[in-house]
Structure 1
Amino acid sequence: MPEFDADRFAEAKYVDYLTDLQQAYKNAFDRMNDRFDSKLVHAIDQQVLNESEPFYEGAGRFRLELPEDPADRVTGVVVDEEKLDGVLGTYAETVEREIARRFGFDPDEGSATAAE
């Protein structure tokens, strides 16, 4: 894993940090799959999060930008909008936390254990 460089993250995330991002998304998927309906988690993963974009916000925090109208993208699973919104929000937060962990930050504290 390359050392995290906050200034380079935006331009190099899919080159220098791709493997770490993939692992963070996988870790989040595994956590969500243990807690929620696996069909719904898989649909969100494949139909929404595949188009998401991670951003470094500073102070060890990451933000996941979702595509427009994420609920409209989820097909093949019957779920009411309120449940979908709740699971999607939890999933996005889980991805953000897993990215922070992967880069050596404590997502509970927002502080870095790795060099910024």
Structure 2
Amino acid sequence: MTKFDPEKFDNKYEHYFEEIEQAYSDAYQQLHGGCDSEILRAIDRKVLSESEPLYEGNGKFHVRLPDDIDERAQPLPGDEESFNAVLDEFTTRIEHELHNLFVFEFEE
């Protein structure tokens, strides 16, 4: 686990690149075999590759998706409902994994 500094997260790719990459990979592995692998792989490559992990405070993260997600989803496999279900679960797991990879110290 890595000690987290919110100020360093402004330059996340300089300070926390490995942790971010690990969170995305762990989330992918958790879903692999549990959902349509073609949809999962397409979301990983076409949507989440352009996403932005954001720190919201109090140990919570959010994955901001690209603005053109509808355009990106058009050529992807699966129906809209399946696509959205996998995307939602994938982003939720990434956010959870980011939280788990860092040690947080909160002021009370």
Which stretches in structure 2 are left out of the alignment for 5+ residues?
none
**Stretches of 4+ moved more than 6 A in 1?**
none
Q: Cα distance, 1:83 vs. partner?
A: 1.5
Q: Aligned partner of 2:105: which letter? A: A
CA distance in 1, matches of 2:102, 2:2: 9
Q: Cα distance, 1:65 vs. partner?
A: 0.1
CA distance in 1, matches of 2:12, 2:105: 16
Q: Aligned partner of 1:115: which letter? A: E
Q: Aligned partner of 2:96: which letter? A: R
CA distance in 1, matches of 2:14, 2:2: 11
**Scaled by the length of structure 2, what TM-score is found?**
0.87
CA distance in 2, matches of 1:53, 1:33: 22
Count residues in correspondence. Answer: 105
Q: Are the aligned partners of 2:8 and 2:15 in contact in 1 as well (CA < 8 Å)? A: no
| Pairing of 1:18-29 with structure 2 (within 5 A) | 18-29=17-28
* C-alpha RMSD of the superposition: 1.6
CA distance in 1, matches of 2:29, 2:2: 24
Which stretches in structure 1 are left out of the alignment for 5+ residues?
105-113
| Secondary structure of the corresponding residue to residue 34 of structure 1 | coil
CA distance in 2, matches of 1:47, 1:84: 12
Q: Cα distance, 1:92 vs. partner?
A: 0.8
- 2:5 aligns with 5
CA distance in 2, matches of 1:40, 1:71: 15
Identity %: 37
Q: Cα distance, 1:86 vs. partner?
A: 1.4
CA distance in 1, matches of 2:76, 2:65: 19
Q: Cα distance, 1:54 vs. partner?
A: 0.5
| Secondary structure of the corresponding residue to residue 90 of structure 2 | helix
CA distance in 2, matches of 1:98, 1:7: 20
| Pairing of 1:23-102 with structure 2 (within 5 A) | 23-74=22-73, 75-77=75-77, 79-102=78-101
Q: Cα distance, 1:2 vs. partner?
A: 4.9
CA distance in 2, matches of 1:70, 1:98: 23
